[in-house]
Amino acid sequence: MILRTLFAAVAFTLAALPAQATNIERIVSPGGIEAWVVRDSTVPLITVDFSFMGGSSQDPDDRGGTASIMTSMIDEGAGELDAKAFQERLENKAIEFNMRAGRDSVRGNLRTLAENKDEAFELLRLALNQPRFDPEPLERIRAQVLSGLRRETTSPNEIASKRWWQTAYPGHPYGRPSSGTPDSVAAITPDDLRTYSKKILARDNLKIGIVGDIDVPTIHKLLDQVFGGLPVKANLRGIPNVPPQGVGKRLTAQLDVPQSVVMFGGPGIARKDPDFMAAYVANHILGGGSFSSRLYREVREVRGLAYSVYTSLSWMQNSAIFFGSTATRADRTLQAIELIEAEIKRIANEGPTEKELAEAKSYLSSSFALGLDTSGKIAGQLVQMQLDDLGIDYIDRRAALIDAVTLDAAKRAAKRLFDGGLLISVVGKPDAVAAVGPAN
Residue 155 maps to which CATH number? 3.30.830.10
Whether residue 289 is predicted with pLDDT greater than 80 in this model: the reply is: no
Residue 244 covered by a domain:
no
Question: Are residue 187 and residue 273 in the same domain, yes or no?
Answer: no
Question: Are residue 217 and residue 300 in the same domain, yes or no?
Answer: no
Domain boundary among 227, 258, 293: 227
Chain centroid, CA 74 distance in Å: 19
Do residues 437 and 340 touch, judged by C-beta distance below 8 A? no
Whether residue 55 is predicted with pLDDT greater than 60 in this model: the reply is: yes
Q: Which H/E stretch holds residue 5?
A: helix 2-13
Q: What predicted TM-score, i.e. pTM, was given to this entire model? A: 0.90
Whether residue 12 is predicted with pLDDT greater than 60 in this model: the reply is: no
Q: Identify the band that residue 22 occupies on the pLDDT scale cut at 50, 70 and 90.
A: low
User: Given this model, what pLDDT does residue 373 score?
Assistant: 85
Question: Are residue 197 and residue 263 in the same domain, yes or no?
Answer: no
User: Given this model, what pLDDT does residue 292 score?
Assistant: 83
Question: Are residue 23 and residue 102 in the same domain, yes or no?
Answer: yes
Whether residue 104 is predicted with pLDDT greater than 60 in this model: the reply is: yes
Question: Are residue 33 and residue 176 in the same domain, yes or no?
Answer: yes
**Model confidence over 204-232: pLDDT tens digits?**
999 999 999 999 999 999 999 999 999 99
User: Given this model, what pLDDT does residue 301 score?
Assistant: 87
Residue 39 covered by a domain:
yes
CA distance 363 to 54: 34
Question: Are residue 213 and residue 292 in the same domain, yes or no?
Answer: no
**Model confidence over 367-376: pLDDT tens digits?**
888 888 889 9
**Model confidence over 323-359: pLDDT tens digits?**
999 999 988 999 999 999 999 999 999 999 999 999 9
Residue 245 covered by a domain:
no
Residue 238 covered by a domain:
no
User: Given this model, what pLDDT does residue 386 score?
Assistant: 97
Residue 203 covered by a domain:
yes
Question: Are residue 59 and residue 117 in the same domain, yes or no?
Answer: yes
Domain extent, residue 208, equals 2-227
User: Given this model, what pLDDT does residue 429 score?
Assistant: 84
Domain boundary among 227, 242, 269: 227
Whether residue 108 is predicted with pLDDT greater than 60 in this model: the reply is: yes
CA dihedral 270, 319, 202, 51 (to 10 degrees): 60
Q: Identify the band that residue 264 occupies on the pLDDT scale cut at 50, 70 and 90.
A: very high
User: Given this model, what pLDDT does residue 431 score?
Assistant: 66
Do residues 254 and 153 touch, judged by C-beta distance below 8 A? no
User: Given this model, what pLDDT does residue 174 score?
Assistant: 97
Backbone φ/ψ region at 180: left (φ over 0), alpha (ψ -120 to 50), beta: left
User: Given this model, what pLDDT does residue 432 score?
Assistant: 60
Residue 155 covered by a domain:
yes
Residue 75 covered by a domain:
yes
